[in-house]
Structure 1
Amino acid sequence: MSAWELGTQAIAFIFALLLFAFLCIMTTALILWPFWWAFRIVKGVSPQRLSDLHRYRLIATSAEVIRSCAQIQQCRGLTARTELLESMLQKVETLEPLILRAHLTPGNPTRSARRRRALSEHAGRVAARLQEVEFRIEHEPHTAIPELANLLLTIQERFAEGRAGALLDCDEITDEKLRGFSPVRQRKQILPLITAILLTVAGAVGIAQTDLPDVAEGPAVLLVAILASALVYRAPQRIEERAQYIIGQ
């Protein structure tokens, strides 16, 4: 075999070796990247930070909607007003589940089952009242938008005072004002939650079939749970909120 052939084979072997190493690195990166992402989420999660986030998110989101209402009232351009209105309605939609869980805010004292049912029913009527006002925005924006802002100001103040059972006065959530509206959006969140739970259970079963040490199984299941939540709840705030429930804070 000539020196030229030996050199060619050596170059081909080195190229194949480098290609194999590159493929191994890429495969490893693709496999480990979701776990690295989940680890970063877990590492950055402080139970106190998550608790504060959940506690004050209702207040912060209400403030954003109120600010949007003021901007819409002051806006004169049709295109800009439409964009602001769409953005505000999206924020209102994210506000509803926060209201429905207002009585479950971390830090609240434990209550009886009957009291929890009453608080849950009140939160549902408050959410339905916001739906009714939201529905009227398209038909009568000049009256519905200021009314929405006033309702949210009251909700924001009552929630900050810890009055989860009186977010709105009784005369604001009568059957006549609700007009048949009900908090149906909460039901739409059941499917993503079930999906996240099933993914977590499947991951836990898979981890149990491996040879991981017992000490490592717990953190591995936690990482799988955070990863499943990250896949289902794509918004960062929802991921952190779901992580709060997983960690148990």
Structure 2
Amino acid sequence: MSRACRPALGAAIAFRELGGVSSDGRRGSAGWSWTCRRRTGRQACEASGGDGSLGRKPVYRGLPLSVIPSPQLAWEVGKSSAPQRCPSRGIMSRPLWATPPLVWEISAGAAMMEIMRDVIAQTSRRLTLRVLGEFPAEPLKRQDDVIEQFKADLRALRLPDVPSGRLRVSLRRRSELRKVRQLISFMVRRYLLAFIVIISVIGVPLKLLNVKPSEGREGVGGGPGAYRLTERGEEVINVVSVVGLWVIVIPMLLLILAFALRSLFRELGNLRVTLRYTLVMQIAATISACARAHRAGGERVTGEMRSVSKKLARVLRGIERAHRTRRMIPRHSHRRKALKAHERLVVGALRRSEAALDTRSRDGLADLSALLITIAERYTEGRVGALLDDGNLEGVTPEPSRELLRWLTSLALSVFAITTITLLDLPTGVESPIITGAGLLVVGLLYGPSARRAADILELGRGGTQ
């Protein structure tokens, strides 16, 4: 009898097939059973004798199990007792509903085991944070590494390597940016768990119903291997599906949605606080670039100096928005005008210090970093109107604010693009994406890297100062 190999649906199983049919159409004996084991570099399947006893019991982490949650194992049905290699493409396909009922139950159970283990790990971590007031060692280690790297950069530039407490706290805020990605991943796994529950609710009754092979029908992979339900089975499945949908699935999805919204709003609040210190993170990245340029030798200096200018440009744009990002004054306060004037002076002072890099590169890097450290310290203290002392601003020409001009230009170009695309009389389904793409293109051309501010923040949030 030819063997029939199928890939496991999320699990490697060891059981005897009930009324199984091989790929050549001959029915296998109900007494035949098989086990699977994983070998390095390939998949090996073993068929055991016809007395119904398993030749080897599957073992997972030293424990005999009938379900091994590993998607890389397969099983094989056959009468040969010698080990046989499962061909990588020797797959006999059957319709989804034709899968033997025990496969549904075991596959759903194995997948739920994996997801529940992840959910329990995430939940226990959050309970540790909230109940015990403790923090995992790994995030703390990453935060300490950021602080140590920042101190090393200051020592390389021969600057005092003792940042203030506020500055250290703002640098540690970088870990908050990772929580958003972790929350998204966590909720995706929970929705996947709900999907597995749906499969279980619908699939488990298959084992209890009269499932029999269809006669005279060809399976997808060849041979009359397709299964079908009886009329009574189909009626029961419909009832179970509707009841399970309204009693189990929908309430669970509502609970998950409520938990997701609650967690999302809480994390967004933390993220909003973290974004206040984006300027500090950008300054830390610029100081790190200055330290690398200071240590570099030969032709590597060229690339490192260019990196300093690119990162400094982001800092300058952040300084122009400091009165908004620090969120210490109302939106329409009369104090904003004085703060904007001071910010333009600070930007001019930094540009003057950057120009000095062309004449004295190493000393200029240290002077630029000293100014950046002062700005970061004052910003964390909330002194947005005194980011630099008056002595550092003497003889500085204020940088003109081009934000209004850019906004008006982008608005005019966007209106022109929308009007032009509308006059082309394109299909409705194509017109909307083109208009959206044109608007994004206009914003990207005018604002440059500022249009990718969110991507820059996430890049900084990956940890480590670049």
Pairwise same-fold verdict (TM > 0.5): yes
1:74-89 matches, within 5 Å, as 74-75=295-296, 77-89=297-309
Shift of 1:157: 1.5
- Render the CA deviation track for 1:101-147: whole Å, top value 9, x for unaligned: 21121633316654111111111111110011001111011321101
Name the structure 1 match of 2:291: 70
Partner amino acid, structure 2, of 1:67: S
Distance change (3 Å), C-alpha of 1:233 and 1:52: farther
Name the structure 2 match of 1:59: 280
Contact kept? 2:341, 2:398, Cα under 8 Å:
no
2:370 to 150, 169, 174: 150
- Render the CA deviation track for 1:189-233: whole Å, top value 9, x for unaligned: 555433432355568889x9xxxxxxxxxxxx9999667646755
Larger Rg: 2
CA RMSD of aligned residues (A): 3.9
Contact kept? 1:51, 1:106, Cα under 8 Å:
no
Higher RCO (C-alpha under 8 Å, 6+ residues apart): 1
Distance change (3 Å), C-alpha of 1:240 and 1:149: closer
How many equivalent pairs are there? Answer: 182
Q: What percentage of residue pairs aligned between the two structures are identical?
A: 28
Q: Does residue 1:125 correspond to 2:339, yes or no?
A: no
Contact kept? 1:199, 1:228, Cα under 8 Å:
yes
Name the structure 2 match of 1:238: 451
Name the structure 2 match of 1:29: none
Query: Structure 1, unaligned stretches of length 5 or more?
Result: 1-45, 209-220, 242-249
Q: Does residue 1:159 correspond to 2:379, yes or no?
A: yes
Shift of 1:55: 2.4
Distance change (3 Å), C-alpha of 1:240 and 1:141: closer
Contact kept? 2:292, 2:304, Cα under 8 Å:
yes
Query: Structure 2, unaligned stretches of length 5 or more?
Result: 1-263, 423-434, 455-466
Name the structure 2 match of 1:107: 327
Please give the TM-score of this superposition, normalised by the length of structure 2. 0.33
Aligned mates of 2:339, 2:361 — CA distance in 1: 30
2:391 to 165, 171, 177: 171
- Render the CA deviation track for 1:27-73: whole Å, top value 9, x for unaligned: xxxxxxxxxxxxxxxxxxx9948845752321111111101111111
Distance change (3 Å), C-alpha of 1:232 and 1:100: closer
Provide the secondary structure at the position in 2 that maps to 1:126: helix
Aligned mates of 1:230, 1:131 — CA distance in 2: 23
Name the structure 2 match of 1:90: 310
Shift of 1:163: 1.6
Normalized per residue, the structure richer in helix is 1
- Render the CA deviation track for 1:87-107: whole Å, top value 9, x for unaligned: 111111222121112112163
Please give the TM-score of this superposition, normalised by the length of structure 1. 0.58
Normalized per residue, the structure richer in strand is 2
Partner amino acid, structure 1, of 2:344: G
